[in-house]
């Protein structure tokens, strides 16, 4: 009787949340998968099932290839900068955890992660600006000629990587700090007795012991790298309204196919590619974690 009432409460309480969740998550996810198999153009009357034709077209599409390439370079670029740097910074902050400045370190590195994307991107856009930007002015001290960073096909991608890394770093450092605080003290004491110095302890103990954290941070960084959009949007348009060189990224290409070309089925197939990338990365993480655990 009591048990039955409890079960009823659980179901009744959970039901509304589940219905909302189903409506705003499960249904649109399923709909993305469905749309990707249809020729679903807003302007045409019939929207026939075309199987995998969208995907076939996608892989011959220059713009999509561009977007996929740029996005991949950005995601891995951010990863390569962020993760090692975050680990070293976290080690240093952890070492100086008793310092009066520890709070300042944490906040200063973390603030770029929490502030709104667009204003922060605007600050960087000014830094990279060809005529007014401090970067060119700074480099001119060393005799480096002024560059139109945001207009160069190579440098504009680098600029986005720098901006994204600047933002991603705070999160990674924070997670590493939690990791460092949870490391077993006894192992380090033993290493100290054996005469290991701090650098050796970092390489031989911290790096291997923190591997699960490194794996997690790497996947999170990569996944958010693959979703890059606002950064590219802001940096790509020139401050004076001149058409900037657009760095095509996946989400941008997707939105353009939907809201400029009205090809929603085609855009959905791009979304499915994004989904597959994220799933593969996540499975990879779990796979590597399990491999460690069984060894």
Partner 1 sequence: MTGKPATVDQPLPRPRKRAVDWLIDAILVAFCVLMILPLVFLVANAFKTPQEMLAWPPTIIPSDPTLDNFTAVLGDTPLLRWIGNSLLFAVFSTIAILATSAIAGYVLGKFRYRTTNVIFAIFLATAIIPFEVYMIPLYFQAQSLGILNSTWGLLLGYLVMSFGIFLIRQNVIHAIPDELLEAARMDGAGEMLIFFRIVLPLLRGALGALAVLAFFQAWTAFAWPMIVATTRESYTIEVGLALFQTGFTVDLGRLSAAAALVLVPSITLFALLRRNFVQGIAATGIKE
Contacts with partner 1 in 84-103 (CB under 8 A)? Answer: 89, 91-99, 101
Instruction: Give the one residue of 51, 200, 259, 290 binding partner 1; rule: CB under 8 A.
Output: 259
| Pairwise CA distance, residues 244 & 229, whole Å | 15
Q: Which of residues 204-233 bind partner 1 (CB under 8 A)?
A: 212-213, 216-217, 223, 226-227, 229-230, 233
Q: Which of residues 33-62 bind partner 1 (CB under 8 A)?
A: 35
The CB-of-282 to partner 1 minimum distance in angstroms stands at 5
Q: Which of residues 146-165 bind partner 1 (CB under 8 A)?
A: none
Is 185 a binding residue for partner 1 by CB under 8 A? The answer is yes
Contact segment (CB under 8 A) with partner 1 among 59-67, 76-84, 151-159, 176-184 equals 176-184
Is 24 a binding residue for partner 1 by CB under 8 A? The answer is yes
Tokens found for residue 229: 């959009």
Is 31 a binding residue for partner 1 by CB under 8 A? The answer is yes
Tokens found for residue 69: 């390439």
Contact segment (CB under 8 A) with partner 1 among 20-28, 52-60, 64-72, 153-161 equals 20-28
Alpha helices, H only, 96-152: 102-114, 117-128, 134-140
Cβ distance to partner 1 smaller for residue 77 or 265: 265
The CB-of-2 to partner 1 minimum distance in angstroms stands at 7
| Pairwise CA distance, residues 148 & 171, whole Å | 30
Is 32 a binding residue for partner 1 by CB under 8 A? The answer is yes
CB-based contacts of 207: which residues, under 8 Å, 6+ apart?
A: 87, 214
């Amino acid at each position: 009787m009591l048990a039955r009432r409890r079960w009823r409460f659980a179901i009744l309480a959970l039901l509304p949340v589940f219905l909302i969740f189903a409506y705003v998550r499960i249904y649109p996810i399923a709909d993305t998968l469905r749309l990707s198999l249809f020729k679903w153009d807003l302007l045409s009357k019939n929207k026939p099932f075309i199987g995998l034709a969208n995907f076939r077209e996608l892989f011959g599409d220059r713009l999509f290839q561009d977007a996929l390439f740029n996005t991949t370079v950005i995601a891995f670029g951010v990863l390569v900068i962020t993760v090692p740097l975050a680990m070293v910074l976290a080690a240093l902050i952890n070492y100086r955890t008793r310092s009066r400045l520890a709070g300042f370190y944490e906040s200063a590195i973390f603030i770029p992660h929490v502030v709104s994307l667009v204003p922060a991107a605007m600050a960087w856009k000014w830094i990279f600006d060809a005529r007014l930007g401090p970067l060119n002015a700074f480099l001119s001290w060393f005799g480096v000629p002024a560059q139109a960073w945001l207009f160069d096909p190579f440098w504009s991608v680098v600029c986005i990587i720098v901006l994204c890394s600047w933002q991603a770093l705070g999160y990674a450092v924070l997670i590493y700090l939690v990791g460092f605080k949870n490391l077993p003290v006894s192992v380090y004491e033993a290493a100290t007795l054996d005469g290991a110095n701090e650098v050796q302890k970092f390489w031989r103990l911290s790096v291997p012991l923190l591997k699960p954290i490194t794996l997690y941070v790497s996947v999170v960084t990569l996944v958010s790298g693959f979703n890059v959009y606002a950064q590219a949007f802001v940096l790509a348009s020139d401050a004076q309204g001149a058409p900037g060189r657009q760095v095509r990224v996946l989400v941008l290409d997707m939105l353009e196919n939907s809201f400029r070309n009205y090809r929603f089925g085609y855009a959905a197939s791009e979304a499915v590619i994004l989904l597959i990338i994220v799933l593969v990365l996540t499975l990879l993480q779990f796979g590597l974690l399990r491999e460690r655990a069984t060894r």
